[in-house]
Chains A and B, each alone.
Chain A
Amino acid sequence: MNTGFYWILKALLSHYWRHPWQTLFLTIGLVAGVGLWSAVQIINQHAEASYQQAQSLLGAQASHWIRSRRDEGIDQATYIELRRAGFRQVIPVIELEVSTAAGVSISIIATDLLALPETVFDGEQSTQDFSRTWLEFVQPPYRAWVPAVLAAELDLEEGTQLELRDGRKLPTALIQAREQQGRRVLVDIGAAMSLSGSNRFNYLGVGEITPAEYARLAASLPGSLELIENQQHLDLQDLTASLHSHLTAMSLLSFAVGLFIVFNAVRFSLWYRRATLLDLRLMGCDLRHLLAAILLETLVWSLIGTALGFVLGVALAQVLLPGLGASLQSLYDATVDAELGLSPWTLMQAWSITLIGLLWALTWPLYRQLQRSSFEAGSTDVMLADETTARRRLAFAALLLACLAWIAYAQIETVTQGFVVLGMILFAAAWILPFLLAQVLSLVGSLLPQRYLLGRWMISDGWSQLPALRSAMMALLLALTANLGVGSLVDSFRDAFVGWLEVRQSADIYLRATNLDYQQLEMNEINASWLADSNHRIGVSTRWGGRPALIRGTNPVAPDSTVFPLSRWQGDSPASALKAWREQPGKVLVNEQVHFLAGVEIGESIALPTDKGLRDFEVVGVFYDYGNPYFQFYLPDHVVASNWSHHYSRGIALWLNPQNKNAMQQAEASLKALGAQPGDWISQAQIRRLSIGIFDRTFAITAAMNLLTMIVAAIALLASLLAILHERMPQFAQWRALGLRQSEQLLLVATPLLVFCAIVWLLSIPLGALLSWILIHKLNIISFGWSMPLVWEIGPALQLAVVVFLICAVTLLSISFQWRRQMPQALAQLGETV
């Protein structure tokens, strides 16, 4: 580096320590944008890495599963027979869902650590890890290995026992986890059998297996069991892709909002450095040197932004991961490691995106500044003319973008394309905003009577604020629109979901134990006093259209089968479609996922794999099926029983006699007498609470991202106003010298600001509605295959108006505080500065 370059760099960078507020806001913008973006990236990549590991089971390979065809589990004798036949790849697994005394649902996974392949021990650092910890794990009174994150959430300390809802306790907790344990509690098979009251395994995991051994294993299995390839990692990637795309889109929006702050800060830094740049050019500095110095500055900022932003991202990811992990576990059965794994690749991506963002926000305007002739660069007229031109260009670009979005909208086929269109709409709105604000100012200006001087003054002050507030207003518009749009999506979904739960889960009790004699329950006259109705559901798991699918058999005249919530149906009404389904052979009801994701229409025939090969069924209805990532088909139970011999029980739904006040107690007593264990049944209230809990947890991350984006937008507004204040201090001093009171000054500045904010807010309402309309009617359907009516309420918009007003109030308060502090000095410098 030669001396000249060093001095250029020093002169340029000196700006940042002479204006620490600018530096701070630039940093905040960068860090907030990078932080929010990288938080989601870290979570997505972490989840992705966890899905990849779905090929393994607690550190051991699991290329296949052995499952009961009738979902009856696997007995110990079969497992031991397989081991004694030399299939040492086979590992027993029990999975349980339990509720803690505090009502938190937790997943338990159990295996026999000693049955895991030898290689798993080799990695365990032999003696130490294989020592007391393991042996305490495998023998009574056992230990429960709880991941640190889960223990913290449950407020569970090592050495204590977690109490369950039914009063039983888990084995003493050890804060420890194995690979792929995720957020689950790991216990020994023996402990799990005590908890479940069953001596059967849910399934057997099969480790790496040669083709010859595979054939021998398949031949060794009894007919009631099946050997299934573990496609979980592929399925999970497929099923969760949309969810992760949604998160990515939100993180990009946050990044964009952060970038607006950067852009804003850069504009001010440029304004302040006009003189410096002019001096440097006049002193004969080489343009290439100036450019190199700017690039170096960009690089330094990108490194600072990435480093701090990434730290923020990791912290945010750690806060958001538990909720998302729990949802992924509940919805997709996906195990996401509780401990966050970081990859250097994410860091590199964060740095690249920051650098690109900075090159756009900092380098290009600075370069343009340099391109100008030396004298032109410093002129205020030029800046103002620039501003008008910029507004027009932006408006033109916005119109172009809006047209493109309009054309592209019809072509949307994938989630990514959908988000690109959404991005185009949002940016078109943001870009046209300065033009609209200017138009409103002009209009108001022309409408104001000539004699209303204060009003005219306010309008002119608005003109002078507009360039400075431009980016902040765009950021605010994006944040408000996103907030309203996504908020409305979540509200619509919640409304639809709750309504759907009421219809689908109308029974009072759901009994899940599959080893009981349901017929005795239904037929026994003793139960007639409390039992009004029942529906014993059966099912078959299969694959259809490349995805896991469920074929369900239900009693067609049961209370919940006669009111299927259909979104599409054949014939005149849902009732006639259901009648046809009930009474005519070969009719099937499919879930919306089959309709939207596999493109199956009413009246079409679909081929399902039965015992006797493929059999065609005609689709007579499409039912809402929220929260289900799989394809699902409903048939009358006798049809399932006659076509799939290996169907299994999916439990029974029981309706209590409304006339009998003690029906619930009597029902529980009857179930116990039948051999059901506490925990085998769940009441309607519990299942609804659980379902809505999962729903709310899933959208917690959305709410968090929304809030953070709003905070970023608020910071942008504050940063801009403080910059304006600083810049215009000499002007305000002049006003004061002319006799204007501080309250009048504040009114002058605040009115245009409030007008701008009000316009932005007003604009955000239709835009938010548009956003949520596209999210619900296009993206949600492409992503998840769920449709729902759009619920639009003014309440959230009014709440946001209050939030915006509060942001303005806080900013104005801080301005008046700054005025008070800086005014005396500004007054003293009056003669020098102008």
Chain B
Amino acid sequence: MTRLLTLISAVLLGLAAEAQDVLGDLRDQGLGFAQVTPGKVLEFPRDHRAHPDYRIEWWYLTANLSDHEGRHWGLQWTLFRQALSPEQAAAGWQSNQIWMAHAAITTPDGHFHAQRFARGGIGQAGVTRISRDGYFNAWMDDWQWRSSSAGLFPAELRFTIGEREIILALEATGPLVANGINGYSQKSAQGQASYYYSQPHIRVSGLVRQGSDKTDLSGQGWLDREWSSQALAENQQGWDWFSLHLNDGHKLMVYQLRHDDGDHWLSGNWITPQGATRLLDRSAINLSSIRTSAIETGADQTRELPLEWRLSLVKQKRSWRIRPLYDQQWMGTSIPYWEGVVLVEDDQGNPAGVGYMELIGYQ
């Protein structure tokens, strides 16, 4: 999703000298880079791999899992790519590609995260087909998504967060879905956009190992693939993003790009259990915060964040309350943000699903 667009650009592009304006680069016109235009047809498996002529790109997996006691767990694994200049990517140490990876785990005992960096061109990180067998492979150091096909699934994902080793088997149970109009996802009225598709139907099973402790986990995952050269408009401060697995089998993705004047850009995708999609525009979505809370973001530092939301879809006549599994799911990475497991309840307060929420750009 538009998500960590901030991170990748502000951190990797590094143009954000003003801490108050970490999203500044996303407003850059991205001149010289390949541009996102309507009408492009996404092609697979080609578009699973990297697009080095675009400025930014990511492979973003979240998973809502549970252990044998039925307790909620969450996992996030993301690989970001950034082109530092519009020239064609050179090989070796001269490469203009930089990679960043984030991983986080929400456990019953707390939230933990990790961050890594690597440069492109030398084989330390990348997203390619393995030449030997043609299978999809995305990696940074020993963090690795290795598919057993040219597509994204079925795959094994291995990564570590501190002492925790995570091994997951990922299997798609439905089709890929294009967001926006056939994958062209508009981000503002001024024309900012990205190519954006998702795989919201992923069966996940695996384990988390820490020393001699081992916990088996299973649940459902959501993968976002997005690339762009210019993503934010001048007057956009940040965004709130949701990916929800509803108990009735529907999937819902909604994001809100917050504008200075309060007239926010809203968009989403309503996905049926069979994989049929309906584009949701701003008139189809009502999104409002119902609780803010101060969470710890560092030593003696707190930030006030809108952690509970009311989300309604006008045409579907559905309404939900979205609240975090617990508040403290803060990503204290180079550019910090909140990303974590949320629980979905219907109007009567009954459990209606699970999902992930991302809040970015709050000071």
A126 close to B93 (CB less than 8 A): no
A135 close to B84 (CB less than 8 A): yes
Q: Return the chain B residue nearest A90 by Cβ.
A: B141
Which of B14, B84, B114 is within 8 Å of A118, CB to CB? B114
Which of B16, B98, B114 is within 8 Å of A131, CB to CB? B16
A88 surroundings in chain B (CB, below 8 A) = 116, 141-142
B335 close to A115 (CB less than 8 A): no
Rounded to whole Å, the gap between the CB of A89 and the closest CB of chain B is 11
A131 close to B15 (CB less than 8 A): yes
B85 surroundings in chain A (CB, below 8 A) = 139
Query: How many chain-B residues does the 8 Å CB contact rule pick out?
Result: 35
B12 close to A84 (CB less than 8 A): no
Q: State whether the Cβ of A86 lies closer than 8 Å to any Cβ in chain B.
A: yes
Q: What CA separation (Å) do A80 and B122 show in the bound complex? A: 8
Q: Give the interface segment out of A15-23, A149-157, A186-194, A559-567.
A: A186-194
B96 close to A139 (CB less than 8 A): yes
Interface residues of A in 7-41 (CB under 8 A from B): none
B17 close to A140 (CB less than 8 A): no
B142 close to A135 (CB less than 8 A): no
Which of B14, B22, B93, B94 is within 8 Å of A132, CB to CB? B14
A138 close to B98 (CB less than 8 A): yes
A118 surroundings in chain B (CB, below 8 A) = 114-117
Q: What CA separation (Å) do A126 and B100 show in the bound complex? A: 14
The verdict on A130 contacting B17 (CB below 8 Å), with A76-B122, A118-B116 known, is: no
Q: State whether the Cβ of A114 lies closer than 8 Å to any Cβ in chain B.
A: yes
Rounded to whole Å, the gap between the CB of B121 and the closest CB of chain A is 9
A80 close to B15 (CB less than 8 A): no
B16 surroundings in chain A (CB, below 8 A) = 127, 131
Contact with A along B164-176 (1 / 0, CB 8 A): 0000000000000
Q: What CA separation (Å) do A121 and B22 show in the bound complex? A: 17
Q: State whether the Cβ of B19 lies closer than 8 Å to any Cβ in chain A.
A: yes
Q: What CA separation (Å) do A140 and B123 show in the bound complex? A: 18
B334 close to A121 (CB less than 8 A): yes
A190 close to B93 (CB less than 8 A): yes
Which of A84, A127, A128, A188 is within 8 Å of B93, CB to CB? A188
A112 close to B12 (CB less than 8 A): no
Q: State whether the Cβ of A168 lies closer than 8 Å to any Cβ in chain B.
A: no
B10 close to A127 (CB less than 8 A): yes
B235 surroundings in chain A (CB, below 8 A) = none
Q: Return the chain B residue nearest A140 by Cβ.
A: B94
Q: Return the chain A residue nearest B16 by Cβ.
A: A127
Q: What CA separation (Å) do A128 and B21 show in the bound complex? A: 12
B95 surroundings in chain A (CB, below 8 A) = 139
Q: What CA separation (Å) do A121 and B116 show in the bound complex? A: 10
Q: State whether the Cβ of A134 lies closer than 8 Å to any Cβ in chain B.
A: yes
B115 surroundings in chain A (CB, below 8 A) = 118
Q: State whether the Cβ of B79 lies closer than 8 Å to any Cβ in chain A.
A: no
Interface residues of A in 85-123 (CB under 8 A from B): 85-86, 88, 112, 114-115, 118, 121
A127 close to B334 (CB less than 8 A): yes
Interface residues of B in 216-241 (CB under 8 A from A): none
Q: What CA separation (Å) do A112 and B92 show in the bound complex? A: 13
Rounded to whole Å, the gap between the CB of A268 and the closest CB of chain B is 59
Q: State whether the Cβ of B118 lies closer than 8 Å to any Cβ in chain A.
A: yes
Q: Main SS of the interface on chain A?
A: helix
Rounded to whole Å, the gap between the CB of A525 and the closest CB of chain B is 38
Q: State whether the Cβ of A83 lies closer than 8 Å to any Cβ in chain B.
A: yes
Rounded to whole Å, the gap between the CB of A209 and the closest CB of chain B is 14
Q: What CA separation (Å) do A88 and B124 show in the bound complex? A: 10
B94 close to A190 (CB less than 8 A): yes
Q: Return the chain A residue nearest B82 by Cβ.
A: A135
A127 surroundings in chain B (CB, below 8 A) = 10-11, 14, 16-17, 19, 22, 334-335
Contact with A along B13-33 (1 / 0, CB 8 A): 111110100100000000000
Rounded to whole Å, the gap between the CB of B261 and the closest CB of chain A is 26
Q: State whether the Cβ of B139 lies closer than 8 Å to any Cβ in chain A.
A: yes
Q: Which of B10, B114, B117, B144 has the most CB of A within 10 A?
A: B117
Q: What CA separation (Å) do A777 and B280 show in the bound complex? A: 91
The verdict on A193 contacting B93 (CB below 8 Å), with A80-B123, A88-B141, A135-B14 known, is: yes
The verdict on A132 contacting B141 (CB below 8 Å), with A114-B119, A190-B94 known, is: no
B14 close to A134 (CB less than 8 A): yes
Rounded to whole Å, the gap between the CB of B118 and the closest CB of chain A is 6
The verdict on A86 contacting B142 (CB below 8 Å), with A80-B124, A114-B117, A130-B334 known, is: yes
Q: Return the chain B residue nearest A121 by Cβ.
A: B334
Contact with B along A67-88 (1 / 0, CB 8 A): 0000000001100100111101
Q: Which of B115, B116, B119, B139 has the most CB of A within 10 A?
A: B119
Rounded to whole Å, the gap between the CB of B123 and the closest CB of chain A is 5
A83 close to B14 (CB less than 8 A): no
Contact with A along B95-139 (1 / 0, CB 8 A): 110100000000000000011111100111000000000000001
B84 close to A139 (CB less than 8 A): yes
Q: What CA separation (Å) do A282 and B96 show in the bound complex? A: 89
Q: Return the chain A residue nearest B117 by Cβ.
A: A114
A193 surroundings in chain B (CB, below 8 A) = 93
Q: What CA separation (Å) do A85 and B142 show in the bound complex? A: 6
A128 close to B124 (CB less than 8 A): no
Contact with B along A313-328 (1 / 0, CB 8 A): 0000000000000000
Q: What CA separation (Å) do A134 and B82 show in the bound complex? A: 14
Contact with B along A561-588 (1 / 0, CB 8 A): 0000000000000000000000000000
Interface residues of B in 2-51 (CB under 8 A from A): 10-17, 19, 22
Q: What CA separation (Å) do A140 and B19 show in the bound complex? A: 26
B116 close to A128 (CB less than 8 A): no
A114 surroundings in chain B (CB, below 8 A) = 98, 117-119
Rounded to whole Å, the gap between the CB of B260 and the closest CB of chain A is 21
Q: What CA separation (Å) do A138 and B139 show in the bound complex? A: 20
Q: Return the chain A residue nearest B139 by Cβ.
A: A84
Rounded to whole Å, the gap between the CB of A194 and the closest CB of chain B is 8
Q: Return the chain B residue nearest A199 by Cβ.
A: B92
A86 surroundings in chain B (CB, below 8 A) = 141-142, 160
Rounded to whole Å, the gap between the CB of B248 and the closest CB of chain A is 41
Q: What CA separation (Å) do A190 and B116 show in the bound complex? A: 20
B11 close to A115 (CB less than 8 A): no
A190 close to B92 (CB less than 8 A): yes
A134 surroundings in chain B (CB, below 8 A) = 14
User: What are 12 A-B pairs at a CB distance below 8 A?
Assistant: A83-B141, A84-B123, A86-B160, A88-B116, A114-B118, A127-B11, A127-B334, A127-B335, A131-B17, A139-B94, A140-B94, A190-B92
Closest 8 CB pairs of A and B: A190-B93, A86-B142, A131-B14, A114-B117, A80-B123, A135-B14, A83-B141, A132-B14
B residues whose Cβ falls under 8 Å from a Cβ of A: 10-17, 19, 22, 84-85, 90, 92-96, 98, 114-119, 122-124, 139, 141-142, 144, 160, 334-335
- Apart from A88-B116, A134-B14, what are 6 other A-B pairs with CB-CB below 8 Å? A118-B117, A127-B10, A127-B19, A132-B14, A138-B119, A139-B96
